[in-house]
Chains A and B, each alone.
Chain A
């Protein structure tokens, strides 16, 4: 059995994506419990530059694959490369940030390695007696919490955004190991041709520290402008309730709740959202919840840490001005 916990670095445009540091934080906890070392894996072409940053954040080794056909992400390319590496080095566990990319290839990897996969975990555990990795994860959209164990190694786990503190920059630096392996184009199963990104630099909903959400009380699509102004001042992402999405006011990518996204920001500001169960399951674990609503009896007003009763079209602009004033100081 190996003695390393691996983290697979997710990067785009030469930049490490922030949730990777959270996965690294989780891996460090698990490694401490298991008496193992932390190693990071970087797959790509000319992506070796990320090794230093991973070392600073606690990876003792960085396994680096430089391969033409890993120039852009593909589920087949990543699965092939990680299978080769895992078979050669036999890590105890492989940790990834739960992202669209991890959801895309981790199941393939688990199937190919014939091992267990625990996605979207909020807590990791180690059973010393059995040498098994376990994890806590929400099921039924947060209506229940399951503890699940992987019976084989490497255990594959993905970490829910914001559930783990990012690894601090207190690492001693990593030994970089260049791994030679080949990936054929046919093994990639189709590469990403392009990323279509909105013109404005948008904060990713699941990764944002602050989320400003609107519901039925927004009355229409144009009215979201008041939330956008507030979001801009706070560097926040914009969310929406299912009612607002189904009405066509916001795109589905903004939906918070069941059949949408689960968010756990430090601050969640709900505007004109009454708080149907299907919305609550998507945001109930936010650290601080603010609800702004005309109806003091709305369910979300009872769940909120701060409930402001009033007209959101007056309150939100006032809030934007006040935040602007104090944050500019």
Chain B
């Protein structure tokens, strides 16, 4: 089975962020970058499937500037067999749909694949868009926010348990398909020292739009139907914290309930 895993490199989720003074975006100067956590769940699942079947290939695919090669190498160190990097300035400024279009073209070139994993969202833009749009460009089914997946015995379909409001939806999709990974799917492994050493020797191909047969109107800003006008710091909530202390539990509870009803008026 050939499995592709789309990974995005994002600022370390624990990092504090600054917005550029001109409002053009987040200031990435000096930030640590990591593989978006949800993509790691997808990669781990792909690796486990390959190990279970004891055959097949796992390919990590990423789009973005030069630094993205590091994320792809991390994927190789975890156990992926080869990597594909959509690396060209022409890809800059791609919105989620343009990104999905380019990834779909790359998967056609590097594939075909039986299964494609992506994170349910990237922790930077939080669009939750690329996975399903990718399936659309490939003309194949998808399942979203998957927390458990079971391949059928004949490997022609996969049953997915997806988190939905108030419960779980169960969907069976035919392969090839795109699945987007939700937390809870698995616990991703750490790369071993041996894995890190081996990753250096694995193939990392780079694709340009021309390699993929994509024109300037199909990638980057020209290929995007949405554009970011401004990025600003989030509004700061003004709080005057009222401290309730040194009271017996019953008295504290009484006081809090009174404040919530009479002052905050939320109950």
Contacts and interface: CB of A to CB of B under 8 A. Distances in A.
A69 interface: no
B167 A198 contact: yes
The A interface, classified by DSSP as helix, strand, loop or mixed, is: mixed
Nearest to A287: B266
A318 B166 contact: no
A204 interface: yes
B125 interface: yes
A259 interface: yes
Interface in B2-17: 11, 13-14, 16-17
B231 A144 contact: yes
Given A111-B136, A144-B234, A308-B256, A100 B144 contact: yes
B245 A309 contact: yes
B234 A318 contact: no
Contact of A139 (B124, B137, B162, B257): B124
Nearest to B226: A116
Interface residues of B, number: 88
A293 B13 CA distance: 26
Residue among B136, B137, B183 facing the most chain A CB atoms (10 A cut-off) = B136
A107 B130 contact: yes
Interface stretch (B68-76, B82-90, B94-102, B192-200): B94-102
Q: How large is the interface on A (under 10, 10 to 19, 20 to 34, 35 or more residues)?
A: 35 or more
A258 interface: yes
B187 to A, nearest CB: 10
Nearest to B250: A318
Interface of A: 17, 75-76, 79, 99-101, 103-108, 110-112, 114-120, 134, 137-152, 189-198, 202, 204, 206-207, 210, 234, 251-253, 255, 258-260, 266-267, 277-278, 284-285, 287-290, 296, 301-311, 314-315, 317-319, 321-323, 326-327
28 contacts: A75-B142, A100-B165, A101-B164, A104-B142, A107-B128, A108-B132, A108-B142, A111-B100, A116-B95, A119-B129, A143-B26, A143-B234, A144-B233, A146-B228, A149-B226, A149-B229, A189-B142, A193-B170, A196-B167, A202-B166, A204-B166, A252-B163, A259-B123, A278-B13, A306-B242, A308-B244, A310-B252, A318-B253
Interface of B: 11, 13-14, 16-17, 19, 26, 37-38, 95-97, 100-101, 120, 123-133, 135-137, 140-145, 147, 161-174, 182-184, 224-235, 237, 239-247, 249-250, 252-254, 256-257, 259-261, 264, 266-267
Given A117-B127, A143-B16, A306-B244, 15 more contacts: A107-B133, A110-B129, A111-B101, A115-B225, A139-B26, A144-B26, A149-B229, A189-B173, A190-B171, A202-B166, A259-B37, A288-B266, A290-B256, A319-B257, A322-B253
